[in-house]
Every structure is written in C-alpha cells, then in structure tokens.
Amino acid sequence: MTQHKHNRNNYLTRNKFIYFPVISFMFSMIFTLSSYGQTDTSDAKMSFDLGFTRGNNINILPFFRRIKTNEKKEVDILFPFYAYKRNYVLPTKRSYFFPVYWSDSTAQTRDFRLFTTYYPSLLHISSKKSNNIHSYIFLDLAPEINLLEYTKSADGNYLQNNFLFFLWYYNNKIEQRSHLVLFPLYWSFRDKEKSTQTLIPLYLSGTYHKHQGKFLAVT
C-alpha cells in the first residue's frame, strides 16, 4: 500500500513538471498570435494591468472598454448592456442601456426609444430636420406596425396617424398621396394618377387617368 502511494505521488510529480511548461507555452503562443493578428499603428505605450491599456484606450471586456481618438469615442460597460459611441467626423452619436433606452442621432435625425429591445419599443420618438417631421409612437412592434402613432410636419404637409391597429391614416400633400384604412371594412387610396375606395362587402369605386375617368362596382 505504501509502495503504491509512493508510485502515485511520483507519477503526479512527473506530470506536474510536464503539464506546467506545456500550459505556459500555450498561453505565450496565444499572446504572440494576438499581437500579430492586428497591425500596430499607434506610438502610445501599451501596459498590461487589469486589461489592455494604450494611451486613452482601455479594454477589459466584458466589464469595461474605452476607445478615444480624434475621430471617435466609444465606451462599453458590462457589454452588451451599456454602450456610448460617437463619431466626430460624420457626425453620429449612439447610446443605449439595454433594455431601458436606445438613442441615435445624426446631423439631420434624432431617434429615441424607451423600454426597448429596438423592436418592440414602448415609446418611440423621432424627428427629421430636413422636412421638420416629428413622430411619436406608442408600442412600436415593427416598422409601420404599432398601437398608436402621431407623425406630422411643422407645415402640415405630412401627416400620419395609426390607432389600435385598425385605423391607418396617411396624407402627403407634396407627393399628393394619401390613404385611409378602417380595418377591415373600409380602404381608400389616392395619388395624383388614380384613387380607389372599397367598402367591404358593398362596393368598390375609384378614378383613373389623372382622375378623369371613374368606375363603380356594387357587390
């Protein structure tokens, strides 16, 4: 019994001296290959503390990451739950705290979502400076699918309202296009060339050839 225990201890001791160099070699190769995987274009000194640090850049993902240059700034905290990204050249800005809010902005647009996974969002507010359109959407499930929407331009040339999945109204005076849907009974569509009105199951009417011709079908 004593001899068997002694042989076992010798076996573990020998393997300990074998495994330790192998594991050390593997870790050294990983760091070596990582350094060759990316071209170093920075003159800033790199240090290894709790993570990788170079100048103003820190990378200890998933806990914290920061990149700061003359062109951009990026911050991640507890990735992927919080992020802040700003591009000074474009310029664009994005920040989110999942699933509390999501915010995007450019020189021409603003987009804010509250209590969101992007889709769905409990509240979605957006605006466009180019045509001065502001939009407020409650329970935004997918593009053009929501519980309540109020979208309008400051000059009144653009208006879009949706309510309870049953009322869809759209009016673009500049493009001369509009529609009104009271789902599923009434459907009305109009542009500068033609129009149709359908009341299910009673009739279908409309115009064509720049509204010069008319038709009516009674069911």
In the predicted structure, residue 147 carries a pLDDT above the cut 60: yes
pLDDT of residue 45: 54
Instruction: Summarize pLDDT for 17-48 with one digit per residue, the tens.
Output: 444 444 444 544 444 444 444 444 455 555 44
- 32 and 55 in a single domain? The answer is no
Q: In the prediction, which pLDDT does 153 show?
A: 96
pLDDT, one tens digit per residue, over 69-79 is 999 999 999 99
Per-residue pLDDT at 75: 96
Same-domain check for residues 54 and 127: no
- Same domain assignment for residues 138 and 173: yes
70 & 112 share domain: no
Confidence of residue 168 (pLDDT cuts 50, 70, 90): very high
Give pLDDT, residue 171: 98
Nearest by Cα to 92 from 69, 67, 111: 111
Q: Is 23 helix (H, G, I), strand (E, B) or coil?
A: helix
CA 91: distance to chain centroid? 17
Q: Are residues 49 and 26 in the same domain?
A: no
Helix (H) or strand (E) holding 183: none
Are 176 and 110 found together in one domain? Answer: yes
Where does residue 40 rank: exposed (0-12), middle (13-18), buried (19+ CB within 10 A)?
exposed
On whether both 139 and 110 belong to a single domain, the answer is yes
Which of 106, 147, 99, 145 is closest to 126 using CA atoms? 106
Domain extent, residue 66, equals: 42-94
| 114 in the same domain as 69 | no
Which pLDDT belongs to residue 54? Answer: 61
Which residues does 75 contact at the CB level (< 8 Å), separation at least 6? 65, 66, 82, 83, 84, 85
**pLDDT surpasses 70 at 50:** no
Query: Is residue 115 domain-shared with residue 160, that is, in the same domain?
Result: yes
Residue holding tokens 């990788």? 52
- The closest of 147, 162, 113, 106 to 129, measured between CA atoms, is 106
Q: Could you give the number of structural domains in the chain?
A: 4
